[in-house]
Structure 1
Amino acid sequence: MTRPTVLVAGMGDVGTLTAMHLARHVDVVGVATTPGLVSGQELGLRLSDPDRWSQDYWVDYRRYRRLDGVEIVRGRVSGVDGATQTAGIVSDRGETERRWDALVIATGVTNGFWRSPDVLDAAGVDSGLRTHHEAVRTARRVAVIGGGAAAVAAAAGVAARVPAARVDLYFPGERPLRDHHPRTWSTVQRRLEDLGVGLHPGHRAGVPPNADRAGVGPGVVEWTTGQPGVAADAIVWAIGRAVPHTGWLPETVLDEDGFVRVDPTLRVPGLPHTFAVGDVAATDPLRGSARNRADRLVAHNVRADLAGRRLRCYRPRTTRWGSVLGPQPDGLEVFTPAGIGVRIPRPVVDRVLRPWIVNRGIYGGIRPR
C-alpha cells in the first residue's frame, strides 16, 4: 500500500521536529533553505561564541537519525495549488513541482539578520556566523537595540564572552521582556547588571530601511524619543519586527499581517489537508506554537486528518517562558510561566541536558560530526 506524502515547507526548529514525528508513518519531503538545521535560537551565544553555538544549533540534516527516511530538498517553495495539491519548489536544479497528500507550513519569519529566508550552502552559513562574530569580537562599544528575549540574550552573551567591549541595551518601554512574567525581568536585570550591561529604557530607535536584515556593523543610532544619537562599533538590531515567509501562499489564507490563519487544530482554512505551525502561524497574539512544542500536536493532527480521525486542539500560553539569556559560561537558567528561575549548572547542561534530554530524547539521536 502506498504511503501518503507530507510536504513540510520549512525545516527550521519546528519543521524539523514535525518531520521527525511524521517520518515513521508517512513519506516526508522537507523543503529547506540550508543543508542543515540553522536554529533561530540563542542569539547571544551565536554572536559571541559561534564554534560552541554550531555544535548544537547548526546541524547537518544527515546527522539526525530520525530524518533518515526524509527526502530533503534544498530550495524554497514558490507557490501552492490547493485544487491539485501540488507545490512549486525552486532549487539550484531549477523549478520542480511536487504533489502532496498533506502540507505543513513551517516557513517561519524574518525578525533579524539571524533568521534569513535566503537559500545558502554550508559555506554561506559559516561565513555569516564568522562575519557577525568578528564584528562584536573586535568592537569597543556594542549597542543592542530591542526589548525582547533575543535582544536581552545578545547583550548578555556578548558581555559575558567579550569582556573588552562595552555593551549597552536600549529598549523602548520601562522594561524589556514585556511578554514574560515580571519576575523574569527582575532576575534577568540583576544578571545583566552583574555582567556590566548598560540598561537604557525609554529609547525608541529610528530604524533605517532593512537595518534588521543587514547584520552587525558600525553606525549611529538615532532615537525618535528625543535622546542624543549613539555611535557604536557594532549595532545589533534585535527589534523583533517579524516578517512572515508567506509570499508563496494565496492571500485568502493569510491574515492582515501576512501570517497564516489557522483554526484551533492548526489546520489552515481554505487549503485541503494543510496545517501551519511555528512563528508563521497566527495561533494567538504570541504565536507561540513552536516554543510550546506544538510539533507533536501538528504531526498527530496531520495523520488524523489523513485517516479521517478526530483532531486535537492547540492551547496557547498567555506568557512566554523558557530560557532567556541562553547558555552562559556557568550554566543555564530556565524560567517557568510564573517567572521562577530554575538554574542548571554547566556540567549538568553539558553531560545530561544536551546529550541525553535534547539530543537523544527530543531529537532521537544525533550522529557525531
Structure 2
Amino acid sequence: MGRGVENWFCGGALIWLVLLCVEGGASDDLVVRQSHGKGAKRPKGALAVSRDIERRVVEAGGNTEGVMVVSLSWASADDLDLHVVLPGGEEISYKRKKAAGGELDVDMCVQGRHSGKCAERPVENVVFDYEPPAGRYKIFVQNFNYHLNTLPENMQVARMQEGIKTSKEERELRLSQNRPVLFDLLVKVHGVKKLFEGLCTPTGKTLASSDVRVIEFDYDPQEESFTTDFEASPSPECTQYTEKLKLAAPEKRRSLPGRDAKVTSVEQKNRDRGGKGAGKTDGKGRDAKRSAALQAVRSAPESLSSKPASALRSLLADLGTACKGCTEKGDLVERLLDVAGVRQEL
C-alpha cells in the first residue's frame, strides 16, 4: 500500500488525517493528496507527532508493537479515558482493562498531577498483541474528571528564566473547568496508522456526556485490513479554543511583527538602565553558540524528539530565534529542523 496524508474538510474544520503503511524496510516518505487538488506538500510535524506519541507510550511501559494499537495523547492533567468497544459489545477501558485479547496497558492522570501517574504530556494505550476479533470497532474518548491544568514544569521554568508572566486570559483558559480538553488519537492496524489531531471533549462536560466518538471501523483478519465507517474531525469549539490558547500566551502577545528573536531579560535591563552595552552581545560567543547548535541539530536530527522542551528552546535561542506560541514539543522540533535547514523525512 502507498503512503499518504490527506486533508479532510468537514463542517468547515480542517483535520490532518495521517495514513502511513510501513512495509519491509521502505522509507517513511510522505505523499500528500490535498482535497482541492492543488499540488502536494508535507504536513508539518504530523509524523513527528505520531512518533512522539509512540515514544511516550513506550516510556510509560506500554506496548506499541501489537497487531492493533490505539494510543491517546493529551497535554493537561485532566483524567481523559480511552474506550475501545469490541465486536459483540465488550469494552476495554479503565473499568475492564482486558478483553478479547486486548489490554489497556497505560492509564494516566486518575488523580491529576498531585498524586498517581500523570506525565506532563499523558498517554493511554490499548494493544492487541495477537490477532483481534473480526468485526466492528468503536473508539471513543471520555473526560472522566477535570484536574488543575497547570503548564508543564519545563515551560514554567523557561518562562521564569525569561521573566515572562502567565497572562490572566491564559490562566482562565487553563484553570477553569469551563473549557474543552484537547487530545490526539493514533490508531495502528497491521502497520497502517491514522492520526487524529486537534480533537477535544465538550466544554464543561464529564463522564458520559463528554464522550467523543473518534473512529468506527470494520476489521477483517483474513485480509489484514480495516474499513472505516466514521472518522471524527475537530469541531469549531476545538479549533477556537486552540487559537485562544495561542493568542493568550505571553510569548505570542509580546512578539513584534517581523522579529523572530525575543528580547532577553539581560538586554531589557540594559535598555532600562540606558547602559552603554544595551542590546549588544559578544559576536564571537554568539557565533560559537550558533555553530554548536547547528552541529547538534544536523548531526542527530532524529534525537531531537527525545530531548526535553527546555533543551529544544535553548537550542533555538542559540540559533538566534524562537518558536512563537509553540506549546507542543513536535512544533519545537519542526522549528529547529527548519532553521537548521534539515530536510528530515520523519
Whether the TM-score (by the shorter chain) exceeds 0.5 is no
Greater Cα radius of gyration, structure 1 or 2: 2
Provide TM-score, normalisation by structure 1: 0.22
